[in-house]
Amino acid sequence: MNFSTVDYIVFFGYIALIVFTGLWVSREKKGHQKDSRDYFLASKSLPWWAIGSSLIASNISAEQFIGMSGSGFVIGLGIASYEWMAAITLIIVGKFLLPIFLKEGIYTMPQFLEIRYDKRVRTSLAVFWLLVYVFVNLTSVLYLGALSIQTIMGINMIWGIIGLALFAVAYSIYGGLKAVAFTDVIQVVILIIGGLLTTFLALNAISEGQGIIAGFSQLLEKAPEKFDMILDVSNPNYKELPGLSVLIGGMWIANMFYWGCNQYITQRALAAKDIKEAQRGIMFAGYLKLLLPLIVVIPGIAAFVLHQESANTLRPDEAYPWLLSTFVGSGFRGVAFAALVAAIVSSLSSMMNSIATIFSIDIYKQIIKKDAEERSIVTTGRITALISVIVAIIIAPQLKALDQAFQFIQEFTGFVSPGILSIFLLGLFWKKTSANAALWGAILSIPLSATFKYIFPFMPFIDRMGIVFLILSAVVIIISVLEAKGDNPKAIKYEKSIFKTDNVFNITAIVLSAIIGAIYILFW
């Protein structure tokens, strides 16, 4: 794709703006040294609009722009369930989980596990999360981001990987969560504007210049099979999205795990000024979720229709870059490309910060150097973030064998999410849950999931997640009952009034749920 002078000015201006903003908001008053609260929780000062923006900017990355568009190319609108059901999940997390987490004053999710269970559970889950964040999440975002840059600009993949990593490192390692969160506000504006621009131009191309409404109408006519939210068992993609199981089964496991137990996501809410700001940030993110399928799924369907007349083959994960390079004209490419890079870099910086937080707070401070000073903890976090991105740079090129990367990431995560979600939910809401039971729930998650995949290879992974979650929950309950002599002394204590939410949260939650319900009825 040929960039015009205007495209280069827009794109490099965006890079300069992000780096400058990150370093500017990170500056400290003369004589003040960043401590762990400043670096890892943004001094507990984030307002709702920064929380909501950062949640979405951190969530939306190359795996959505590239991977979910690829799944839209193959499967269609049904893949948007990951986004729209996530909005409902955010309501649940905001009302029932966040109040407890904020009450406990935690920095990390493993830290909560020690408060509720013991150090064994905390350490084992901290190590697990570090491995997943570095070897799955960080590497996949770098790979998919570099793939898009290679497809669009012809830049060699390894240089794309290094360039993206350096961009994220430039402001996030020094500034910590505060730099990440406030630059994410800019990033989310850019990715929404640029993403919608690409969608509108693709729809306009389908209608041959008759506008986006005409383009969408033709999209419905030319690919009606791509607009089924609930797939029939005869659909060739049923294994990826198994009908009603999407609504009532395992996808809830994936969403609750991701939005409720995931350090990479919850860290923003943990840094809120107070519970109201956290909950309003969560609701803001829920409404932004409504827009995302327009940005990442519709382009994949549009690419399917536009590419039908082409003689060339197109891999699913090449759909979005192909669309960008073919139908986004000079003058707009800089904006559209900046949106894609914004999604990638915001996720990279968030992951690096979460990796730094977990290692510094849960490993370094708890095991390696218990009397570590604040300055040492922050320095360790910065070094950890740098090492993690170097490891990811080395591993990322090995992922080029993937086809639908988004589906691969979801399935791999589905090996671990049932066990972790089970011990969190039972630990939060059942006072008899024991530490030994929780440890077994975490340990058995991967082998049990792998066993089901081996014995029942044709079982949809979403169904497998749901079944494994039920089995592991039963295991945790049985072990806890056998050990129990009453309530666990480390059970979380709270009054029911903690779950009371204000009218702003309640009204916005009802409206959001109604909108999503209407969408499912319309595209059933």
Residues 117-169: tens digit of each pLDDT: 999 999 999 998 999 899 888 988 898 888 778 877 788 889 999 999 999 99
Locus of tokens 């109604």: 514
The answer to whether 354 and 27 have CB atoms below 8 angstroms apart is no
Phi/psi at 272 (5° precision): -70, 155
Q: Where are the domains positioned within the chain?
A: 5-28+60-413+494-522
CA 61 to CA 67: how far, in whole Å?
9
Q: Is the dihedral of CA 53, 54, 58, 61 positive or negative?
A: positive
The answer to whether 351 and 137 have CB atoms below 8 angstroms apart is yes
The answer to whether 288 and 185 have CB atoms below 8 angstroms apart is no
- pLDDT at site 434: 95
Residues 495-518: tens digit of each pLDDT: 889 999 999 999 999 999 999 999
- pLDDT at site 448: 95
Percentage of residues of the chain with pLDDT beyond 90 = 55
Weakest-pLDDT range from 49-58, 215-224, 408-417: 408-417
- pLDDT at site 311: 46
Query: Residue 46: beta bridge partners?
Result: 272
5-28+60-413+494-522: CATH superfamily: Sodium/glucose cotransporter (1.20.1730.10)
The answer to whether 217 and 299 have CB atoms below 8 angstroms apart is no
Asked if pLDDT for residue 336 goes beyond 70, the answer is: yes
Locus of tokens 């320095």: 379
Tokens found for residue 188 = 């989310």
pLDDT band at 405 (very low <50, low <70, confident <90, very high): low
The answer to whether 228 and 77 have CB atoms below 8 angstroms apart is yes
Position 141, amino acid:
V
Query: Which of 318, 334, 304, 279 lies closest to 74, judged by CA?
Result: 304
Weakest-pLDDT range from 2-6, 34-38, 207-211, 451-455: 2-6
Query: Which of 420, 413, 410, 407 lies closest to 469, judged by CA?
Result: 420
pTM of the predicted model as reported, rounded to 2 decimal places:
0.91
Residue 272 in 3-state DSSP? strand
CA 83 to CA 298: how far, in whole Å?
13
- pLDDT at site 322: 82
Phi/psi at 46 (5° precision): -75, 130
CA 148 to CA 239: how far, in whole Å?
27
C-alpha pair distances (Å), 85 with each of 90, 229, 247, 250, 291: 9, 12, 8, 12, 13
Asked if pLDDT for residue 524 goes beyond 90, the answer is: no
pLDDT band at 49 (very low <50, low <70, confident <90, very high): very high
pLDDT band at 404 (very low <50, low <70, confident <90, very high): low
Asked if pLDDT for residue 492 goes beyond 70, the answer is: yes
- pLDDT at site 265: 84
**Mean pLDDT calculated for residue range 392-404:** 78
- pLDDT at site 337: 82
CA 21 to CA 24: how far, in whole Å?
5
DSSP percent split of the chain into helix, strand, coil, nearest 5: 80, 0, 20
- pLDDT at site 272: 93
**Mean pLDDT calculated for residue range 394-414:** 72
285: Cβ–Cβ under 8 A, 6 or more apart, which residues?
Answer: 51, 52, 53, 55, 56, 59, 90
Asked if pLDDT for residue 341 goes beyond 80, the answer is: yes
CA 13 to CA 2: how far, in whole Å?
18
The answer to whether 144 and 67 have CB atoms below 8 angstroms apart is yes
The answer to whether 125 and 442 have CB atoms below 8 angstroms apart is yes
- pLDDT at site 155: 85
**Mean pLDDT calculated for residue range 276-296:** 94
